[in-house]
Copies of this chain bind each other. A is one copy, B any other.
Amino acid sequence: MDLKAAKTLLLRQRIEVPSWGFANSGTRFGTFAQDGAARTLEEKLDDAATVHRLTGITPTVALHIPWDGSPDSDWDGVARYAAERGVAIGSINPNVFQDQCYKFGSFGNPDASVRQRAVQAHLDCCAIAEATGSDTISLWYADGTNYPGQDDFRARKHRFEACLAEVYAALPAGARMLLEYKFFEPAFYHTDLPDWGTSLLMCSKLGERAQVLVDTGHHPQGCNIEHIVATLLDEKRLGGFHFNARKYADDDLTVGSIDPYETFLIFTELVKAGLDPDEELRTATGRVAYMFDQSHNLKHKIEATLQSALFVQQTYAKALLVDYKALRVAQDSCDLLQAEEILRAAFNADVRALCAEVRSELGAEADPIAAYRASGLKEQAARERVARHGEAVVGSGYQ
């Protein structure tokens, strides 16, 4: 691919930011509050708009319900508020893990009334999606057990299948559901949807509009995530990504901070599939949703999101620069050293100027972090928000 073609694709790159990435977050040991962290949906949308204005590539915002509102909220108003600031509502994420009723799970719960309540929370999100113009329901379940014997694996599987089918049947026209998996946490002995295999199995039973979501932090150590990505692409069932990074568990660090080469390898699979002769595969690849799901516990929320967007942009640029034809020739002749060097040549390329150029063409900033730091916006938000809400009150998993 020549630089011009790469630039054309870079100009089209879009990444969704999560509303919760602008709010305070922490660990079970405690939360360190930031004065300027967003505490209302409007503030989160303000922050997302700032990021989009500076980078040019983050036009949508994922919502978490009920953190960001209830069925009774003025969703038209929310959509309008977002639009006025230059962003739009992205995927809708039902939270069915925090209420006390979900102590023993949501869709996996032995209690049918809790399952029904969880299903209703999903139906509410479908309605919110319609009201806000979103076409994606993004699903993650904290369900699982903490101890051997706590519940029956197969019974829980049956309950999950039944509840997901109810939600699938209620999807708005044109909408799809993304089904996330996670190896462990917060359930510590077993997780109902622990791996891509389980998510794909569920999606296959549901229908084509159910697709697998890959969160890069939700795998066991040593797992080859780019291989999973390739498999799901080949099955036309890769729905999207939650990008983040981790060193040990699901640490939800900013994407690329621990192993940037892994993210690059993931992107090479996506670029390759987007260039494939199989049109159906190209279409499926074009549909993949790119989102962050990170806990900016110590970094400033907006800065961390800027940094993440810049990293993903650079990584996509590097993946676009790979000479895939030469790669395939090397692969077919089992010249593994040459094949590896072709990948490395692209990874080692310095794409920072190229990306700055792309951002400039998009009307955004050549150096977004520096621009933000120079703007005074950070200090202003902190002042205004503390004035509006008072100091942030934070807790820990220990009460």
User: With a CB–CB cut-off of 8 A, which chain B residues contact A332?
Assistant: 110
A251–B314 Cα gap in the complex (Å)?
A: 30
Per-position 1/0 for A19-57, Cβ under 8 A of B = 010011111111111000101000000000000000000
> In the complex, A222→B245 CA distance in Å?
12
B110 adjacent to A331 (CB under 8 Å): yes
User: How would residues 292 to 310 of chain A score, 1 for a CB under 8 Å from any chain B CB and 0 otherwise?
Assistant: 0001011110011001000
Q: Is the CB of B152 within 8 A of A331?
A: yes
Are B147 and A257 interface neighbours, CB within 8 A? yes
B331 near A149 with CB under 8 A, answer yes
Q: Does A359 interact with chain B (Cβ within 8 Å)? A: no
Known: A151-B331, A200-B197. A146 touches B297 (CB 8 A): yes
Q: A354 on the interface (CB 8 Å rule)? A: no
Neighbour of A336 across the interface among B150, B235, B336, CB < 8 A: B150
Nearest CB of chain B from residue A154's CB, rounded to whole Å: 5
CB distance from A367 to the nearest CB of B (A): 11
Q: Which residue of B lies closest to A195 (CB)?
A: B197
Assess whether B304 is in contact with A189, with CB atoms less than 8 Å apart: no
Stretch of A8-16, A131-139, A178-186, A379-387 lying at the B interface: A178-186
Number of copies: 4
Asked, given contacts A227-B153, A261-B260, whether A145 binds B183 with beta carbons under 8 Å apart, the answer is: no
Q: Which of A85-93, A165-173, A342-350 contacts B (4 or more CB under 8 A)?
A: A342-350
9-residue interface stretch from A70-78, A119-127, A390-398: A390-398
Which residues of A does B touch, CB under 8 Å?
Answer: 20, 23-33, 37, 39, 67, 97-98, 100, 103-104, 110-111, 142, 145-155, 157-158, 183-186, 188-191, 194-198, 200-201, 220-224, 226-227, 230-231, 233-235, 246-249, 251, 253-254, 257-262, 265, 269, 272-273, 295, 297-300, 303-304, 307, 314, 327-328, 330-334, 336-337, 339-343, 347-350, 352, 369, 392-399
